[in-house]
Every structure is written in C-alpha cells, then in structure tokens.
C-alpha cells in the first residue's frame, strides 16, 4: 500500500484511547490524516493524541460519551471547526460487559448496548452525512463483531446491537453511494482491551479461542487491523461499499470455540 494515503483528510475515531481504536487513530495519522481522538478515558485519550503529535502527526483529543447524542454531534462539529471537513468516521467505541445468559439479561442491558452501538453509529453517521455529501466524498467504517455474526453465547445484547449497526451500514451504503460516500464494516479478531479482560476472566477459553483460529492467534491491533481501516478510508477503496471485512485470521470460516462458563 502506498504511503501517505490520507494526506489532506480529517478523521474521527471513537473509543480511540486503547486497543483497536488507538491503533486505527495512529495509523490514520501516520497516513497523513488529521485525527480527532475521542473517548471517555481522558488520561489515555490525551496520551494517544500527544503520541501522534510527538510522531509528527496531527491529532486532538475530545471527551465524548457516545451514549449522549449531544456529545456525538458535538464531536462532528469540533472536527469541522478545527479542520474544515470530516472525511472519515470510524465508530469503534464500546465499554464492554461481562457475559451472561440471555434469560438473565435485563431490558436496560439491551438498551445500553443499542445506545452505544446502533444509536451512536446512527447519530454520528447522520451528523457527517451532509458534509460528506456536499464534498462528494466520505468514508464511514463501523466496527462490528463476529459475536453477532456467529451468535456467540453470553453476549446476546452486544450481538444484536452490533448486527443492527452492520445492517445500518449496508442501508447507508446503498442510499449514499451516489454521493461518493463509502460505508463498510470491519469485524476484527484482535487482542483488544475487551479480549484482555476476557482472557483474565476465562484464560482457558481464551487460549482455546486463539488455538482454533486458522492462524493460531488473535490479531495485533496495529499490525493486523489498522492497515485495513486505513485502506477503507482511502481513495483506493472508492469502489468498495456495503461490505463486511472479516479481519480475523480466518476465524469466521468455521467459527470459534466459544462456550463460556455461564451460571444459571
């Protein structure tokens, strides 16, 4: 892939203080984009933006709680005011919840997941749409999950909210294609902050999950995932829209060993 793919572009990455979000923010900046790093972890978020600037890139941090529509719309306004455009939107933020049986999950749990994933994605996409349409160019990348595709046990509310976001992405891709706005999904398998928490809670299952992957490992956020996001954000992906890219070492082919210990 050629260098400096995103020169002159501006990007928003939600949930960018750690894991996959941090890796994508750093990679987009390295490819020339100005990046608005957003999260609720101010200390780590500021550190990510500072690290990008120290490496010669352009970045700012903004505190954004994606469950609040005013925060989501505010981040788009900030990006426009700071850099004059919002060319790339990556919806990645998620707080994570422990696995629990479907019948024990509350309505509030489902509502929270839908708010973090589906509604946050919808709000941000609608906020960037008029600006991308006016410029005739835009890239929307929504981070979804194999949990939803494969209906993993213990995470029903997460699965459903991520699949709702994936369907939203496909609908937007169809309707916004005439305006040069490409909308795609990445379903990653990587050693993210959520995977590290899972590994601490259920080390045997985490090891089995990695062993079952065709490549025998979980992905590295920077080396395995971020480059795909940079490609989707670039001019090279101008004819690619409405797709789900499984950046998972082939884990989606036969599924994974995912039978967590879920008390009755």
Which amino acids are annotated catalytic?
158
Structure tokens at 151: 């209906």
108 Cβ partners below 8 Å, 6+ apart? Answer: none
Q: Measuring CA to CA, how many Å separate 138 from each of 6, 51, 135, 144, 174?
A: 12, 26, 8, 19, 14
Query: What number of residues does the chain have?
Result: 264
Structure tokens at 252: 């989606």
d(CA 147, CA 203): 18
d(CA 76, CA 81): 9
260 Cβ partners below 8 Å, 6+ apart? Answer: 99, 153, 154, 202, 205
Question: CA angle 161-203-187, nearest 5°?
Answer: 30
Structure tokens at 13: 């990455």
d(CA 173, CA 185): 10
What phi and psi values does residue 239 have, to the nearest 5 degrees? -115, 20
Structure tokens at 122: 């919808």
d(CA 43, CA 59): 15
- Tell the residue number behind the tokens 């971020």, with chain if given: 226
């Amino acid at each position: 892939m050629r260098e400096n793919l995103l020169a002159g572009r501006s990007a928003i990455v939600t949930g960018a203080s750690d894991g996959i979000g941090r890796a994508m923010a750093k990679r987009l900046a390295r490819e020339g984009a100005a990046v608005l790093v957003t999260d609720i972890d101010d200390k780590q978020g500021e550190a990510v933006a500072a690290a990008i600037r120290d490496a010669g890139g352009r970045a700012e941090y903004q505190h954004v709680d994606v469950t609040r529509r005013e925060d989501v719309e505010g981040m788009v306004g900030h990006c426009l005011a700071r850099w004059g455009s919002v060319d790339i939107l990556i919806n990645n933020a998620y707080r994570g919840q422990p696995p629990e049986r479907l019948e024990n999950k509350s309505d509030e749990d489902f509502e929270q997941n839908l708010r973090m994933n589906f509604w946050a994605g919808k709000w941000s996409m609608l906020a960037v749409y008029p600006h991308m349409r006016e410029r005739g160019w835009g890239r929307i990348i929504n981070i979804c999950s194999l949990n939803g595709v494969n209906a993993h046990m213990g995470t029903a509310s997460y699965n459903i909210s991520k699949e709702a976001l994936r369907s939203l992405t496909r609908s937007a891709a169809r309707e916004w294609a005439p305006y040069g706005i490409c909308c795609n999904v990445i379903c990653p398998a990587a050693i993210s902050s959520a995977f590290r928490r899972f590994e601490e809670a259920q080390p045997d299952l985490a090891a089995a999950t990695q062993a079952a992957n065709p490549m025998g490992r979980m992905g590295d956020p920077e080396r395995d995932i971020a480059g795909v996001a940079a490609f989707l954000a670039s001019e090279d992906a101008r004819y690619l829209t409405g797709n789900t890219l499984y950046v998972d070492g082939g884990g989606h082919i036969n599924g994974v060993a995912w039978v967590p210990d879920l008390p009755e």
